Amino acid sequence: MPFAYNGEHPVFFEVKGQGEPLVLLHGFMNDHLIWSDLSYVKSLKNDFNLILIDLRGYGQSYKPHDPDEYYLTHRVKDVVAVLDLLNLRKAHMMGYSMGGRVAFGFAKYAKERVKTLIIGGMSPFGKIPIDMNKRIELLKNGMEGLVINYEQQYGKLPEKVRQRILNNDHQALIADTIDTRNWQGMAELLPEIDLPVFYFCGENDYFYEETLQAAKLIPNVTYVSIPEANHQQAYVKKRLILPQILEFLKNNRF
């Protein structure tokens, strides 16, 4: 099983498919397998060399319990370590939710390693419209309370996804949540992003209005609203978004 290393810290990844390199960055509670669960891998692997990464705190990657270890700079360096190991100077970068925040981080800290950015369900303004203190309280006794709370909001999870989420290190997720709560955003960066950006969000997502504001500030942006979709549904409804992502990538090849 392949690992890259950021210093001594392991970063787990898998590579599937062939074509131009496309890094996929998952959201909170998940790991790299979510992209297979949602059939993104099946839909993209014939056209792209997919690099599926377990972000810090998840899957088989490094799981620190110190919030300072989740700074965006560390997470960007984790992904850069994978690119270096694969001898990739640049890659397309796609992230959803927490993964979208990491993708924004590349625009600030390592834009020379990025060909395009595809970001969904994330605001760059640092105002996370979620009760992070409630999340931390739910996590103190393990993962089950958070999973139950999630299912009350969004519906029952597929059983294999549910079990995988329950296996998370809840102390690592507490540390991750504290870092997210403290994040100040990067609004000042938006007018300076000189990369092609595909930006999407569900119209019922709590980030929606902020993503509309952010899109107005990014020079080379393609923005897509997903109708009747909340934060979880926007990328699950891939038939509404994937054809447009593929068109964007087709128009921005290496």
Per-residue pLDDT band for 1 (boundaries 50, 70, 90) equals: low
Q: What does the angle CA 54 – CA 18 – CA 194 come to, to the nearest 5 degrees?
A: 70
Which positions ≥6 away from 16 have C-beta within 8 Å? Answer: 41, 45, 49, 50, 52
Per-residue pLDDT band for 115 (boundaries 50, 70, 90) equals: very high
- Average pLDDT of span 5-15: 98
- Identify the three-state secondary structure at position 224: strand
% the chain with pLDDT above 70: 100
Q: What is the dihedral of CA 9, 123, 31, 146, to 10 degrees?
A: 110
Q: Are the beta carbons of 197 and 224 closer than 8 angstroms? A: no
Q: Give dist(CA 61, CA 53) in Å, integer.
A: 9
Distance of CA 155 to the CA centre of its chain: 21
The residues pairing with 21 across neighbouring beta strands, listed in sequence order, are 49
pTM: 0.97
What local confidence, expressed as pLDDT, does residue 129 receive?
85
The CATH code of the domain at 3-125+185-250 is 3.40.50.1820
* pLDDT tens by residue, 126-163: 878 889 999 999 999 999 999 999 999 988 999 999 99
Q: What's the number of CA atoms in the CB half-sphere (13 Å) around residue 59? A: 24
Radius of gyration in angstroms for the set of CA atoms belonging to the chain, rounded to a whole number = 17
* pLDDT tens by residue, 180-207: 999 999 999 999 999 999 999 999 999 9
What local confidence, expressed as pLDDT, does residue 27 receive?
97
Rounded to the nearest 5°, which phi and psi values hold at 12? Answer: -85, 140
Over the chain, what is the mean pLDDT? 96
Domain boundaries, the chain: 3-125+185-250
**Is pLDDT at 85 greater than 90 in this prediction?**
yes
Rounded to the nearest 5°, which phi and psi values hold at 123? Answer: -100, 145
Q: Are the beta carbons of 32 and 57 closer than 8 angstroms? A: no
**Is pLDDT at 237 greater than 90 in this prediction?**
no
